[in-house]
Amino acid sequence: MPVTTPFIETLLDSHLPVDVRSPLEFAEDHLPGAINVPLLDNDERAEIGTIHKQQGPHQARERGLELTAHRFPEMVRTIAAAAQGRPLLVYCWRGGLRSKTVATILELAGYQALQLTGGYKSFRNQVAGYFFPFEPRSPLVVLHGMTGIGKTTLLTHLKEKGGFVVDLEGLACHRGSAFGQLGLTQNLSQKRFETLLWDAVRKAPPGEPLIVEGESERIGRVSLPGDFYQKMAAGVRVWCSASLDTRVRRLVEEYGLPEYKEDMAVALQRIRKKLGGKICDQLAGNLERWELEPFMTGLVCDYYDKVYYKNKDWEGDFNLCLEEFDAAADQLLEFLKKSG
């Protein structure tokens, strides 16, 4: 039985999405919570496409059946084991023959399976449309402040205390700064980032504040979709502060790992022009000698504080001291409760 895209959001909470596309298609992006049980592998999909183009659809289907028929019993067992009794939502690229075949086989085997009309393509269109225009069901609360303040750590404390947070940097696998890739691998596609963000935001309880960290429009190689960035700019602004000593200490704690040293040196050279050659060479010397406190102090004073928020022309709706995270989280949640 086919199901149309508008119902995906409710089905994701009750059905197991089964992606029967090739592994490469799945790796680029897929429905939240989906498992990949490919009907064709990457090479076979390319082969079928070539046959379809050169010989026609009939020959392509015959070859597809020849390649896949022997896999059907194992596919059913794999899907059933993953489902653990949940009904199934089967999809391919456009809701065509691949998902129809698997959904039909599952139904013949006695399992409840829906085929997603329009496939991943229709889901992708829904995600893109969700962010333009982006109309959040919950008030956006945006944490701003200089580098090293500890905004990401504050998000963790807020979540532990019952606040609803979306960690944009965590979703993007990047901290959003010149040194933001250290210890992380940002190998997700723009489509994957948008799907992860869509899935996180859709779960926000209506009316409850949705707390995010202030970011640039780009986070590493991915960008905030649609007008999400503009809606963040119009949200509740929380200005976070902490002393220079605290910020330096937190940066040393986060980045001060010997295995980061080489990548830190590379990242430092990427901002050489903004730092100036003399300062850059001085910081490179600190790094080489593993003098982390003067290194981080120089980065904060000569780079981060001169680049970020340099054109800030607004006052925060709430000012928050982040010297102590638990106390700060309590203060912010109390403020949001009173103002909400």
Q: Which residues pair with 16 in a beta bridge?
A: 88
Q: Which residue out of 92, 173, 240, 280 is catalytically annotated?
A: 92
Active site residue 173: no
Residue 109 to residue 16: CA distance in whole angstroms? 17
Residue 152 to residue 254: CA distance in whole angstroms? 11
Number of residues that this document lists for the chain: 340
Q: How many helices (H) and strands (E) does the chain have?
A: 18, 12
Residue 44 to residue 85: CA distance in whole angstroms? 31
Residue 238 to residue 211: CA distance in whole angstroms? 10
| Distance (Å) of CA 129 to CA 28, 121, 122 | 19, 12, 11
Residue type, 324: E
251 touches 153 (CB < 8 A): no
Give ∠ CA 234-237-240 in degrees, rounded to 5: 155
CA-closest candidate to residue 235, choices 143, 306, 146? 143
Cis peptide before 133 (omega within 30 of 0): yes
Positions marked catalytic: 92
